[in-house]
């Protein structure tokens, strides 16, 4: 892989493995997803992957990760996304205590806004998990710290 330097994987979900990495050309930090191809449904999987990634690249919402790049290499499909530092919500709660009700409500509103944005465009996320919410909330927390 010439364009991206990968670190050790940090998350696996089904056939996908996620790596933190660096774009060697731009020097930017990224997340690189490797999707193993299931040879029994390769054509369908490839078509679905590219369709989803084209949609992700076109989305413009502050709490939805967009796709920066896609490619095929080493028998896998790869997608590249902006890196957002993530700390699990339970880790933040252990360190700082429970979120204030107003903060928790604000974060829930950000999640609802992002899901609404997707639904208005005909998309159903289908995989809202604690890990994915942590990714969203990391962006909300980071935006709050900068403000």
Give yes or no for residue 115 having a pLDDT over 60: yes
Average pLDDT of the residues in 130-143: 56
Chain segment 31-77, per-residue pLDDT in tens: 999 999 999 999 999 999 999 999 989 999 988 888 999 999 999 99
Spans of all domains in the chain = 4-82, 89-146
User: Global pTM?
Assistant: 0.76
Among 3.50.50.60, 3.30.200.20, 3.40.50.300, 3.30.70.100, what is the CATH number of 4-82?
A: 3.30.200.20
**Nearest of 70, 69, 58 to residue 118 by alpha carbon:** 58
Query: Strands across the sheet with 4-13, in order?
Result: 4-13, 16-23, 29-36, 76-82, 69-73
Alpha carbons 104 and 36: distance in angstroms, whole number:
36
> Which token pair is 78?
């790869």
pLDDT score at 90: 78
Chain segment 81-112, per-residue pLDDT in tens: 999 887 777 788 888 888 888 888 888 898 88
């Amino acid at each position: 892989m010439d364009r991206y330097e990968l670190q050790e994987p940090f998350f696996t979900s089904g056939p996908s493995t996620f790596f933190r990495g660096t774009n060697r050309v731009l020097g930017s930090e990224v997340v690189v997803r490797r999707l193993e191809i299931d040879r029994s449904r390769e054509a369908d999987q490839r078509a679905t992957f590219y369709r989803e990634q084209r949609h992700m690249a076109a989305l413009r919402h502050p709490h939805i990760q967009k796709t920066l790049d896609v490619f095929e290499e080493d028998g896998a499909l790869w997608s590249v996304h902006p890196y957002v530092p993530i700390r699990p919500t339970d880790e933040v709660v252990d360190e700082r205590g429970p979120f204030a009700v107003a903060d928790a409500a604000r974060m829930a509103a950000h999640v609802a806004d992002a899901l609404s944005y997707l639904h208005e465009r005909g998309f159903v996320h289908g995989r809202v998990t604690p890990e994915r919410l942590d990714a969203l909330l990391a962006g909300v927390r980071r935006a709050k710290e900068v403000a």
